[in-house]
Structure 1
Amino acid sequence: MAASHTARRLIDIGANLTDPMFKGIYNGSQKHVSDLTDVIKRSVAYGLQKIVITGGSLEDSESALALAKTDDMLYSTVGCHPTRCLEFEAYEDADKYIAQLIQLVDNNRDKVVAVGECGLDYDRLHFCPKEQQLKYFIKQLSVSEATGLPLFLHCRNAATDLAQVLRNNRHKFSGGVVHSFDGTLEEAKEFMRLGLYIGINGCSLKTESNLEVAAELPIDRLMIETDSPWCEVKASHAGARHITTLFQSRKKEKFETGCQVKGRNEPSNCVQILEILAAIKKRSIDELADVLYENTVKLFFSAGTNNGR
């Protein structure tokens, strides 16, 4: 490991560390021992200062928060993913669901840094129809309004509607980030006009078109993430040619302590996202790391919030 890695300060704004894969469980089958502790240690070795664990439902947000409380570098979001918004209707009262999200934030101001993962996903309407997604996304904006926390936003094939909802409710949120962004330059500009940041991960850097868009985005509006265990940079991705940091990996069936699990993304891979962005933007990797870190601190960890550090 190069010494320069530890000199950098990185923050993974979105990691699904409550996923069973980090306990060695894949599709309900135990393939190896839990290695989350090693995953976190490895992230520190590659410059990670903080990791934000994503909440995808009320129950998942509680689990993310419980995990965040086990380590000073871990934080969490609180919210309901658009594909899981039917949970509001299965609950006894949608307003009570919202109230419990707000309570979860208010009782844990030192650890909860954003409202989400919320937003719209029109690629997977079989999980939750558009009408319900829109209804309960708008409802979740009241959590941001009540708590003052920024938004951690999900957007898949829904940029027009997402931007319209946010424009119509601009008074309800102070800022946020559209994570795992893979849209057009104009879509990114519209989100930035709304005061939002753009989150970049492996899914943001798949194609040459993705790279062209990312290259045009101003660095003072960018953040990096893994969305682990998903959204890794695969060898077939356009961005892969710019990666200089490679990790030893083993298939899950041949798990080896000290190695990554092949095909399972993890926070240490933020360094690869940084390397790709630095290459396509023709910027110093260390300079870029500093800017991205400051962007993230400004949104999620500023002195004006209870979780400022």
Structure 2
Amino acid sequence: MFQGIYNGKQSHVPDLKIVIQRAIQNGLDKIIITGGNLDDSRKALELANTDPILYSTVGCHPTRCLELEGDNCYNYMDSMIQLVKDNPKKVVAIGEFGLDYDRLNFCPKDVQLRNFNLQFDLAEKTKLPLFLHCRNAASDLLDILNKNRDRFSTGVVHSFDGTYEEAKSFLDLGLYIGLNGCSLRSSENLDVVAKLPIDRLMIETDSPWCEIRASHASAKHVRTRFDSVKKEKWTEIKQVKSRNEPSNIVQVLEVIINIMKTQMEHEDLEKFISDSIYNNTMKVFFPDKSN
């Protein structure tokens, strides 16, 4: 989409540089590009090397795990490990990997389970935090994480939309909870988020997906609005309608601040929550730069 291509059709000029510049203007100082398989991880790293604020991850998404099957498996794993070792200043996490039972049409459950387990070799050998994907699979994900607990230090369950009990189980493993628009769709989601400890939260966009939509329960808590136009009427000074981008992370923050106002007291609650979430992210992914 940041190349201007939607469903195979070119709708406007590539504008990724403009999107990144808009993110910087709106206060972002680091952006992590997630890798979905070996090829995506290479492309994410190639992109990360074009700008000092960009970083990347290396891993194989659960819906892509068929690529890890067969005789090529260990060469594939070795290539991912080498990609991390060759780029220590840019690769900040292992992932996106995990389990996705909502999209078994892309990859069967048994293949996902086998190759989620396999990628802990990557985590153990690189010592990097985990960037975890979980869709309708919390029980199995927790079981595998517990069995491999001595092979990783910490990480984040990104785009979390589960129950409080599931979140508590992830927190008990030393993990953090990552929130975006998809985490804040329903009133039940908001009730869960309101109970989570600030010192274990992160925020994200997962752009170009997971924007906060007008139909979401969280939409009423958003204060910052960005002008947008349909993709066919693209202009560099406005966002593309329904295409999420990094600048919109401020909206996720505003939702969290507003739903936690009734749960906690602080002299400057907005600054406290903002600083806490920022420091959590730095501590996990950028420990050398963390205060």
- Conservation of the 8 A alpha-carbon contact between 1:274 and 1:285: no
**Quick one: which amino acid aligns to residue 277 of structure 2?**
L
**Quick one: which amino acid aligns to residue 57 of structure 2?**
T
**Quick one: which amino acid aligns to residue 174 of structure 1?**
S
CA distance in 2, matches of 1:264, 1:250: 10
Alignment pair present for 1:245 and 2:230: no
Alignment pair present for 1:291 and 2:291: no
CA distance in 2, matches of 1:89, 1:292: 38
2:23 maps to which residue? 43
Number of residue pairs matched by the alignment: 285
2:69 maps to which residue? 89
| CA deviation profile, 1:33-54 (whole Å, cap 9, x unmatched) | 1111111111112111100000
CA distance in 1, matches of 2:23, 2:37: 26
- In the TM superposition, residue 287 of structure 1 has moved relative to its aligned partner by 2.0
For 1:49, what is the secondary structure of its paired residue? coil
2:90 maps to which residue? 111
**Quick one: which amino acid aligns to residue 69 of structure 1?**
N
**Quick one: which amino acid aligns to residue 291 of structure 1?**
S
- Conservation of the 8 A alpha-carbon contact between 2:58 and 2:80: yes
* Relative contact order higher in (CA < 8 Å, ≥ 6 apart): 1
CA distance in 2, matches of 1:281, 1:111: 34
For 1:232, what is the secondary structure of its paired residue? coil
CA distance in 1, matches of 2:140, 2:284: 24
- Conservation of the 8 A alpha-carbon contact between 2:283 and 2:290: no
Alignment pair present for 1:122 and 2:74: no
For 2:255, what is the secondary structure of its paired residue? helix
- In the TM superposition, residue 89 of structure 1 has moved relative to its aligned partner by 2.0
* % identity of equivalent residues: 61
CA distance in 2, matches of 1:228, 1:85: 22
CA distance in 1, matches of 2:197, 2:24: 27
- In the TM superposition, residue 308 of structure 1 has moved relative to its aligned partner by 7.0
Moved over 6 A (4+): none
Superposed, which structure 2 residues align to 1:61-80 within 5 Å?
A: 61-80=41-60
Instruction: Summarize the Cα distance change of 1:44–1:236 in structure 2 as closer, same or farther, 3 Å threshold.
Output: same
TM-score, L = length of structure 1: 0.90
- In the TM superposition, residue 122 of structure 1 has moved relative to its aligned partner by 0.4
Which of residues 172, 180, 193 in structure 1 aligns to 2:172? 193
CA distance in 2, matches of 1:159, 1:89: 23
1:153 maps to which residue? 132
Which of residues 34, 53, 59 in structure 2 aligns to 1:54? 34
- In the TM superposition, residue 222 of structure 1 has moved relative to its aligned partner by 0.3
Which of residues 164, 180, 191 in structure 2 aligns to 1:212? 191
- Conservation of the 8 A alpha-carbon contact between 1:53 and 1:77: yes
| CA deviation profile, 1:235-280 (whole Å, cap 9, x unmatched) | 0000000000000000001111110000000000000000000000
2:2 maps to which residue? 22
CA distance in 2, matches of 1:100, 1:33: 33
**Quick one: which amino acid aligns to residue 231 of structure 2?**
K
- Conservation of the 8 A alpha-carbon contact between 2:68 and 2:76: yes
For 2:69, what is the secondary structure of its paired residue? helix
Alignment pair present for 1:267 and 2:252: no
- In the TM superposition, residue 225 of structure 1 has moved relative to its aligned partner by 0.3
CA distance in 1, matches of 2:171, 2:29: 26
- In the TM superposition, residue 285 of structure 1 has moved relative to its aligned partner by 2.2
1:302 maps to which residue? 287
Which of residues 58, 74, 80 in structure 2 aligns to 1:101? 80
Structure 2: unaligned runs, 5 residues or longer: none
1:277 maps to which residue? 256
| CA deviation profile, 1:191-246 (whole Å, cap 9, x unmatched) | 00000000000000000000000010001000000000000000000000000000
1:18 maps to which residue? none
CA distance in 2, matches of 1:188, 1:120: 16
For 2:29, what is the secondary structure of its paired residue? strand
- In the TM superposition, residue 286 of structure 1 has moved relative to its aligned partner by 2.3
TM-score, L = length of structure 2: 0.96
